[in-house]
Amino acid sequence: GAVVSQHPSWVICKSGTSVKIECRSLDFQATTMFWYRQFPKQSLMLMATSNEGSKATYEQGVEKDKFLINHASLTLSTLTVTSAHPEDSSFYICSARTRRDPSYNEQFFGPGTRLTVL
Amino acid sequence: AQSVTQLDSQVPVFEEAPVELRCNYSSSVSVYLFWYVQYPNQGLQLLLKYLSGSTLVKGINGFEAEFNKSQTSFHLRKPSVHISDTAEYFCAVTVSYNTDKLIFGTGTRLQVFP
C-alpha cells in the first residue's frame, strides 16, 4: 500500500515551453502532497507543499509564478514549470502524506521526473 | 534551523562485508530521524526511523541505526551486505512539532561488489 506515481518519468523540452508533471497517490487519499527538487549529487530540497482545494505553500526562494502547483483532487497534484529554461533542468520528486502512524506525518515518495530543458 | 550531513558521498564494499553509513545532524530542538533508500528509477523508500524510545532502531532489509544524542549522529549499519543493497541512501531529519518539513542529507551511494 501507499504507492505514489509520477508522470512522466523523463521529459525533454525546448527553452520557453511549459511542462506539466503529475503526482498521483494510487491507493490512498492525500490531502497534502509535497514537491521536491534534486540537483545532481545534492540533497532533496522542498519546493512547496500542495494542499487539496487550496493554494500551495512555497518555500523561500521558490518562484510561485514559475512553478505552478494544482492539487485538484485527493489523489492528484500537478507541478507545471512555466517558460522553462536550462537552469530548471533537474530531478523533481513528489511525495504524499498519510497519517498511518499517529506520531508523525509519513511521506510516501514518487519515483521522480527528470526534466531536461534544451 | 536543522541540517543533515552525510560525510561519505560513496561507500564501496564487497558483498557480505559489514557497512556503516554515517549521518550527523544539527538541531537545537527535538528531532525525528529517518533513513531512506532510493533504488535506480524508483522513489525513496523508508528504511527505518527514530521517533523516541530505544536508541537502536531496526528497519527493513536487515538495516539498523543508532541514535546518539551526545554525538548528534544517526549512523546506519548492516552486518552483511548483498549486491541488491546497491543504492542511494538518504538520511533525513524533521522537528517533532512539524513533521511535514523533512531536511535531507546529500546522500551516500552504496556500491556492493561481488
Cell of B105: 542529507
- A9–B102 C-beta distance less than 8 A: no
Residue A40 C-alpha from the chain's centroid: 17
- Give residue-wise pLDDT tens across range A7-27: 999 999 999 999 999 999 998
- A109–B43 C-beta distance less than 8 A: yes
Distance CA B23, CA B7 (A): 7
- Give residue-wise pLDDT tens across range B51-97: 888 999 999 999 999 999 999 999 999 999 999 999 999 999 988 77
Distance CA B44, CA A117 (A): 24
At A102, the pLDDT band (50, 70, 90 cuts) reads low
Residue A106 C-alpha from the chain's centroid: 16
Torsion sign across C-alpha atoms B18, B23, B29, B32: negative
Summarize the confidence of residues B36-58 as an average pLDDT. Answer: 90
Chain A residues within 8 Å of chain B (Cβ atoms): 4, 6, 9, 32, 34, 41-46, 49, 93, 95, 97, 103-112
